Structure 1
Amino acid sequence: MVDPMHFEAHAAQYARARPPYPPALWDRLRELDVLRPGRRALDLGAGTGQATGPLLAAGLHVTAVEPGPRLASRLRDAHPDATVILTRAEDIELPDASFDAVVAATSIHWMDLDVLLPKVHRLLGPGGVFLVWRNVFGDPDVSTPFRDRVAAIVADRDDPPRRWPDPEEVAATSAALTANGLFSVDETTTFRWSIELDERQVRDLFTTFSDWSADEVDRAGAAVRELGRRVLEHYQSWLIVLRPLDDSPGAAR
């Protein structure tokens, strides 16, 4: 298992290298009436605020939970209007029905769902929604020379294949989030987008990937240099919208 605190050791790169979530995702949240000013949102595994910032900009009151001290410090500096709690998502202790939305943005795969899901269920108020989304770096439906080089780097690894569900697969994540019967999926949506990156941006970004070694990052950087010093990356972002089930105090009415 790769180290979930890898990001803490690379907080500076994380803050500058991780791309924002695509505008189409935020547009969909507006259509769902999630981004109504004055609503209360809980951002789990907030990192340096890639989701916290847009939630605040939409007028929400945001409580951001981040276990890494360096990441949390950068989060506070960048978004002083957020309430930042330094702890794991599984360890938060907050009043029942405190939030209109709970968000896990490219973070849910690090969390123990047996502990987390009952807690999220309890924290959501009437009509509350649980939103899980992530960026997938590399669109499997789009082939590019750079992605061919990335695939070759990954293929050279000696590590055995992962045995747990692929966290980049929306279907596997949806199944895991609904397995205990506390939530149902309202919808899943995938957004496709692209971004141009130079060698330094690729090095910074790939350094933040928890399963990439320094040597592999060097190889990815060299690939950019050899392919003309800039590459167009095609990415996906998916969104899962979940509602609490049953008639408990935290469930939707």
Structure 2
Amino acid sequence: MPDPMHFDAHAEIYDRARPPYPDALWIRLQEQGWLRRGTRVIELGAGTGQATGPMLQAGAAVTVVEPGEALADRLRRRWPEAAVHVATAESMPVPPATFDLAVAATAVHWFDLDVVLPKLHRALVPGGHFAVWRTVFGDPSVPVSPFRERVAAITARRGGEPPRRGPGELATEGWAAQLTESGHFVTIHIEEFHWTVEFRTDQIRDLFTTFSNWSAAEVEEAAQAADQFGGRVVEHYLTPLIVLERAAG
């Protein structure tokens, strides 16, 4: 079963290995007015700040909630402007009508939404927004590369795995439905961003180490595959974005 604290145990590797989110995502958030100078943001499950930094650079005031102490420590040192709280999204006390925007970047699948959604509804001002996105490591719209074939062969040997909470990572409409079924939020925007990033063998080893459902032996096999393909692989990724608006009442 994937363990959310796996990331904290590998905080140093996570910090250097996880790729940034695509520029087009930040452009969209800013041009739509959801993220701007002075926006008060609460970010849940922030890791080491892959989303925190760009929001601060956009002029937002960011409050971070991160349950991993090692991850939070790295975030605090990298982005001292952020207010960092070591807590889960479920346990963090939040005053009412405090924030303009809530963000969950590659984190919402870990949350108990029955607890988190009403909490965010209270925490946001009327007309506030909740932006949810993730990195899908492997864009299904792109022809499968030889490296991706090897990755698929590794994961296929596992057999059945316990399902994660919520819809699959590519079920964007399913996530939008789940995030709105309680009536606390309504969906106002769905978009997908396609992007690429090139990794060296050592970077593949680091990145796959951060995946909570990968064993050390599997990670090494993926790194060896990258090495066999010349020591550099181009990965095609997908970032689905869902923007929700706080429902009235």
Q: Does TM-score exceed 0.5, indicating one fold?
A: yes
In the TM superposition, what are the counterparts of 1:157-236 in structure 2 within 5 Å? 157-160=158-161, 162=163, 164=165, 165-236=167-238
Measure how far apart 1:31 and its partner are.
Answer: 1.4
Separation in 1, partners of 2:129, 2:14: 28
Shift of residue 172 of structure 1? 2.1
Write the deviation string for residues 20-60 of structure 1: whole angstroms up to 9, x where unpaired: 00000001001111222112000100110011101100011
What is the distance in 2 between the residues matched to 1:124 and 1:196?
A: 38
Q: Please give the per-residue CA displacement for 1:117-176, whole angstroms capped at 9, x wherever unaligned.
A: 000000001221100011111111221111111110010113346275213421221121
Structure 2 CA distance, aligned partners of 1:191 and 1:39? 23
| Structure-2 change in CA distance of 1:236 and 1:102 (3 Å) | same
Q: Distance in 2 between matches of 1:87 and 1:28?
A: 29
Partner residue in 2 for 1:14: 14
Letter in 1 for 2:156: A
Displacement over 2 Å in runs of 4+: 158-165
Distance 1:160 1:111 in 2: 19
* 1:59-138 matched pairs, under 5 angstroms: 59-138=59-138
Amino acid of the structure 1 residue aligned with 2:61: H
* One-letter amino acid of the counterpart of residue 110, structure 1: W
Unaligned runs of 5+ in 1: 249-253
Three-state SS of the structure 1 residue aligned to 2:19 is coil
Q: Which amino acid aligns with 2:159?
A: D
Give the drift of 1:187. 1.1
Which residue does 2:52 correspond to in 1?
52
What is aligned with 1:27? Answer: 27
Number of aligned residue pairs: 247
2:133 and 2:241 in contact (8 A); partners too: yes
Matched, 1:155 2:160: no
Write out per-residue CA displacement over residues 223-252 of structure 1, whole angstroms, 9 at most, x where no aligned residue: 001111100000001110001113x2xxxx
Q: CA deviation at 1:88?
A: 0.2
1:240 matched to which residue of 2? 242
Gaps spanning 5+ residues in structure 2: where? none
**TM-score, normalization by structure 2:** 0.96
- Aligned AA for 1:124? L
Percent of matched pairs sharing the same residue: 55
Q: Please identify, of 33-42 and 117-126, the stretch whose mean Cα deviation from structure 2 is larger.
A: 33-42
| Inter-partner Cα distance in structure 2 for 1:36 and 1:107 | 22
The answer on whether the counterparts of 2:127 and 2:247 sit within 8 Å (CA) in structure 1 is: no
Deviation at 1:11, TM superposition (A): 0.2
Q: RMSD across aligned C-alpha pairs, in angstroms?
A: 1.2
Separation in structure 2 between the aligned mates of residue 93 and residue 161 of structure 1, nearest angstrom: 31
1:88-119 superposed Cα distances (whole Å, 9 cap, x missing partner):
01111121000000000000000100000000
- The letter for the 2-side match of 1:180 is S
Does the CA-based 8 Å contact 2:109-2:164 persist in structure 1? no
C-alpha distance in 2 between matches for 1:160 and 1:59: 42
- Structure 1 counterpart of 2:176, which letter? S
Contact 2:94 2:119 survives alignment (8 Å): no
Secondary structure at the aligned position of 1:180 is classed as coil
